[in-house]
Structure 1
Amino acid sequence: MIESDWQVHSETYAVPRTHGVMFGPLLALSLIAMFPIFDYAASWLYPGRPHWLYDLIAATLSAMLALAIGYRGYRRFFAYQQLLEQHVTQRRIAENELETLFSLSLDMLTITGQEPQFSRVNPAFSETLGYDADELLARPYTDFVHPDDRPATLAAITRLNAGEPIIDFVNRYRRADGSYRWLQWRASHSKVPGLTCAVARDITEARMREQALAESEQRFRLLFENMSDGVAVYEATDDGRDFVFRDFNKAGERISRISKDELIGHRLTEIFPGVETFGLLDVMRAVWHDGEPRSHPARRYRDQRLELWVENFVFRLPSGELVAVYRDITERKAAEDLLRQSEARFRAVFEQAPIGIDLVSPDGLVIRANEALQQMLGYREDEMLGRSFRDWTHPDDLEGSQALAQRLREGGDDRLAIEKRYVRKDGGTIWANTQVAAVRDSAGVLDYFVAMVEDTSERHRAQQETRALLEQNRFLARRLLQVQEQERAWIARELHDEIGQSLTGIRADAQAILSRSRAPELVPIRESAQAIDEVANRLYSAAYALMHQLRPSLLDDLGLHAGLDQLLDHWRRQHPRTRCVFEFDDACEALPDDTELVLYRTVQEALTNISKHAAAASIRIDLRCLDPETTAPARIQLCVSDDGRGFDPDAPPRGMGLIGMRERVMSVGGEFDLHTARGKGTTICVSIPIAVD
């Protein structure tokens, strides 16, 4: 048992084995080996004695020797047993310490065998990846590796199996929640054959910081290279008396008209020899010495190669390098010069303009007013400043003026015009055409209004007189048309009552003569009577046609539909080659007499114009009543269209036809529209309001 325990512990804890410790076998061996020797020695020393005496002496001596040997062996055994216990205790302490370190390590520790599978993992593995230890041990560790990292991981395992240690290998492991963590590995083979020890560290946060740093550096570089301002990085030399270029952005190359390669490593005074007199070098020296950022105001830089206006801002980096950010303001300076010139011109125009001009704040208060406006309204400029434009706007025009200002404030328009009345200081009223423009800053915010006021009182009076004359002329034209219709009606009645009856009587007398002149000797009389009858018939037909043209009886007797049908039948007979389509809305029956007459005359005049000028292949006439729900009030609409040659609507009229049609329509409150162009035909549309019962 002792031997067995010894063997187990010595093998387990690598304690060296010694033959003196194995006292059992040695004792037996000494008893067996020495007994014959002592027996022979006793027989030699004491010859002639009994044999059992020799055996007793040999046994006694063998036992004494065995006891001596055994005592020495036991001493060694107990010494080695004590040594063994010390080894076991120390080994167990070491194992406990290692187990504690294994469990408490913040790094991920693992032991693997021959198969690509974890044999043991420490708690840090579970804490980092979110799996139970059993889950980690149950699956090949390659299952946890990101698919993109598996080829590199397998290659690293191959190198490890070939005896090459793995140092700082990085891959991604999948967590239980599906996310991935970046791990940095170190692995090597254990002294125990078939075992591999590996340490992994979660570097996800470090990778994220590195990535953020790289992105930040990239953003800085992009910003540096894409800034519109020039940026130069300098390193001081000669104890801060001069500076050497270390970096330069693209805007700097453009502004300074020099490439980065031409100046990196060169002194500032070498590349820009005018920098000393320019004053920037003194600013840079001061910033380098005390670290306080400074601005160098806009000044003109000039040397043999370059001339421009530039402003600088200089600051020092923690590394001691200097950065100068500079902006080319040459164009701005030129623009400022132009602006000053423009302002001078504006002041000259503002003060000398023949029309009134004032500048008005967004809330409607006068900022400036020129001399012409002061004379127009009778106020001095100091009396107008700070007052609202409402103070001299006529009360009846105030609402429209405020609406215009509001539209400009809201940005719907930048320029609007209105004709309104102004009240002078003396109480008089003037008419003026006012154009108001909104002036906005670069951000689109309203800065002020510019109002240009042109006195149109004389023109307005002339327009009123013209409108009065025009209205009078229209009244006279309508009256003339009424008189014409009355004259036409009277002539038609006279033709019907007098000439028609007379011709009827003549024809009756001629028929009577014909019936009584059958005798051969009365042939000349019969022929004369026949000729009289034919002439009277032609005169009657001509008179009837003239009566129809002057005042169709069907229009008075049967209404508009019948009158238009008769008119179109007569026109079709005269123009058989022209296709004529007539559409009549039955809802248009029973119209007022004056409306029916206007519509009839419009169609009549349109057909006359088509016959004379259009050379049309087809015409179309549509008469319909518009739905009172879509048009208020209810209206009747007439459209006459042809596909003829058309004409220029802006050309002066060659007759009174169109003018007469327009005046007739307007006399009953209607609207007249003409649509035509050369080669595109002509369309006339008439819309007349009608009363609805």
Structure 2
Amino acid sequence: MILLIDRATMRFVDVNGTACALLGYSREELLAMGPQDVLPTTREQLAHSYDTLIADPSLQNGMHAYYTCKDGSRLPFESTRRVLRSGDRWIIVAISRDIRRRAAAEAALRESEERYRRTFDLAGSGIAHVGLDGRFLRVNRTLCEVLGYPQEELVGKHVKEISHPEDRDLTDARRSRMHAGEMESARFEKRYLRKDGSVVWVDLTVALARDPEGRPLHEISIMEDITEAKQAESALRESEERWRVTFDMAGSGIAHVGVDGRFLRVNRSLCEILGYAAEELSRLTVKDISYAEDRDVTDERRARMHAGEVDALHFEKRYLRKDGLTVWADLTVSPVRGPDGATLYEIAIFDDITERKEADEALRAAHEELKRSNAELEQFAYVASHDLQEPLRMVSSYTQLLQRRLGEKLDDDAREFMAYIVDGAARMKQLIEDLLAYSRVGTRGKDFKALAGEDILRRALVNLRAAIEETKAEVTHDALPTIEADDVQIAQLLQNLIGNALKFRGADPPRVHVGVVEREGEWELWVRDNGIGIEPQYFERIFMVFQRLHNKGEYPGTGIGLAICKKVVERHGGRIWVDSRPGEGSTFRFTLPKARHH
């Protein structure tokens, strides 16, 4: 469109039809207006620019602006202005071209470039433009974070400078093929060295930017940091290797068994247990090598496990080795399930318990033999308590009868000999009774019950009342706990130990203390005295049957009391020992398990 403007009046003096069409005004309307009415500038600014143009016509270069149309819309234009002289008037000729399409294209281009810039700078992947010489031309923020360099240090640096030494030439061949047009892009996994020296793995995709003639301009590289994934892969490989070594070298037999019962994979130990090679087992099912009577023993429980009712199974089962021998296995089975919860296969762990089973059978036989032996011992105890003591009573009774009838007729030697006979019979009777007591500790014991320790001690002290009063002894005790025990045997244990303290006393009246201390899972009790003490070399011997450290003239007894104590303590699951020094007294210590809460 063409507009002619009178500088003096600052009004249009002529316009062409294109101007009317583009601006939406009629010719008459435009001729009544001036340029300041359609341009975004004031009359004074326009007048100044026109005066400048009049003063120097060489300034007739173009300008870009927009007109305001009659409907209020804006019309972008590119304009060239010239000056004409008409008489005494200066006429400004403005030739303007509608540039809406170009302006829209330029705006779209700017928007596209802004989107690209933001995409480049804010992308989650590292992006770089790399020159054909291998140097970084442009890098984004993410790539700087991946490689640990600021942007200004990366730009201009050669890619190989930061490549891991072993990967420095990794991409050369494929890049050359890409530059030659044999391939459009290339993808690699490659290591780089961060600025701090640490290694970073990247998944690298490289493509070429080309000019309109197809000549390479630069490379576009997109880098994804896959260090964590690589570390996870490495950890997984290590884990799988550890699992493989554990599977193959485990002392227990291990198998993966399909839902159809076939062996999928077996380890060395299972082959040794069953006597088959791995490839032989892979052709067999579990039932093929199961003992006939145990073939179907696990079916119901396995079905429940596959249905998700139980997580794992544990059972003992017999199998047949390749050589025909029977092997017992302690078996634990658990399922490996898929995402839908269905069983994919079973993991079965076999422990060979054949020797244990044989030992159990031998123990059962020994137990039966022990029961038979105990029955015979019971019979012996009956005989000892009745048949053996009857002759002793006759010897003692008739000897005493002779003493009463012939007392005055017997000389001193005869009376002494007869006294020996009576004393011997009495000691023999006591020995038989002690042996009976010893034998009955394990066979005539009562069931264990929770009992107050002080009640048991009180019973023992009642039985020893005469001896305590005779020796003027002082017996003290700690607060005793509740114990789970046979009250009769524990009372006998305490009675024997306190009785020994009263018997083996020194010159001073006996002082006896029953103490207790709590240990982990048990009580430790003791009986301490101020008696004659014991030499250390006899600490073990005194708990054996018939072992005496003194002659019966000094201290009466059969030598069975401490043996009974040891047997009682061991029946209760404890142990007994002594601490002593000659002349300083003794402390007999024993342990009893704590009462179990039902």
TM-score range, shorter chain: 0.3 to 0.5
The structure that is strand-richer by fraction is: 2
Considering Cα pairs closer than 8 Å and 6+ residues apart, tell me whether 1 or 2 has the greater RCO. 2
Q: Which has the larger radius of gyration?
A: 1
The structure that is helix-richer by fraction is: 1
TM-score (norm 2): 0.47
TM-score (norm 1): 0.41
